[in-house]
């Protein structure tokens, strides 16, 4: 039996592997943009002011481009002391690398006391089927604390400075399995998995 392809609308290899790992027991062949042959110069703007809006825009654009059932995800870090920033702008918070972005965050929070360094990651997953124009969304929220110095070498993005008090580790000190079990993306993907199984396998 040929498995239906599920396009994950990202070129971020770390993100693709996390998603593939979470969806591994579903009857879909999970592929990234490169595997699906989407040209590098086909780039989708993310003009929405919400993560849900951006996730839907990306899912529809790549789904229509490829004709494939598409999963798109938008996520961001919302810091209590910064009134929810960087939020939807997390990936564009500072030019350069992931380290440039979390260093900017640490410098902005230099004067914030330990008890006020709460934060959360929010992920919104959008599913789009170009065959029938069906769209579904779901989200996951993961609470933690922004520590003062980065720790760990796993993961990506703000993982080295996002601390989980229950596990006593930053995201970047966790294995992929540990992170998937607690993360915003893991939560959203588990909801997406149910939706995929119920609504997109028929």
Q: How confident is the model at residue 150, as a pLDDT?
A: 97
Alpha-carbon 64 to chain mean position: 21
Q: What confidence score (pLDDT) does residue 27 get?
A: 87
Orientation of helix 13-22 relative to helix 184-199, angle to 10°: 50
| Domains by residue range for the chain, with CATH | 4-199 (3.90.950.10)
Q: Give pTM, 2 decimals.
A: 0.87
In angstroms, rounded to a whole number, what is the distance separating the alpha carbons of residues 82 and 74?
A: 20
Per DSSP, the three-state class of 172 is helix
Q: Say what the pLDDT of residue 78 is.
A: 97
Beta strands in the chain (DSSP E): 4-8, 28-32, 69-79, 118-129, 134-146, 162-164, 169-170
pLDDT of residue 177: 86
Q: What are phi and psi of 119, to 5 degrees?
A: -160, 165
Give me the pLDDT at residue 202, please.
Answer: 63
What is the residue-level pLDDT of the chain in tens, covering all 202 positions? 578 899 999 888 878 888 888 888 888 989 999 888 898 888 888 888 999 999 999 999 999 999 999 999 999 999 999 999 999 999 999 999 999 999 999 999 999 999 999 999 999 999 999 999 999 999 999 999 999 999 999 988 999 999 999 999 999 999 988 988 899 988 999 999 999 999 887 6
Could you list the active site residues?
74
């Amino acid at each position: 039996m040929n498995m239906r392809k599920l396009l994950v609308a990202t070129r971020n290899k770390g993100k693709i592997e996390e998603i593939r790992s979470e969806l591994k027991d579903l009857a879909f062949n999970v592929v990234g943009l490169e595997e699906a042959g989407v040209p590098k110069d086909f780039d989708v703007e993310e003009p929405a002011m919400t993560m849900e809006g951006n996730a839907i825009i990306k899912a529809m654009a790549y789904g229509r481009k490829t004709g494939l059932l598409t999963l798109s995800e938008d996520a961001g870090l919302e810091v209590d002391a910064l009134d929810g920033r960087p939020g939807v702008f997390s990936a564009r918070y500072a030019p350069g690398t992931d380290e440039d972005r979390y260093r900017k965050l640490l410098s902005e929070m230099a004067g914030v006391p330990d008890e006020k360094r709460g934060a959360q990651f929010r992920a919104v997953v959008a599913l789009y089927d170009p065959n029938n124009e069906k769209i579904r969304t779901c989200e996951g929220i993961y609470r933690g604390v922004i520590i003062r110095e980065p720790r760990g070498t796993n993961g990506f993005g703000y993982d080295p400075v996002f601390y989980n008090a229950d596990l006593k580790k930053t995201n970047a000190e966790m294995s992929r399995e540990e992170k998937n079990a607690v993360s915003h993306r893991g939560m959203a993907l588990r909801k997406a998995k149910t939706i995929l199984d119920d609504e997109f396998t028929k």
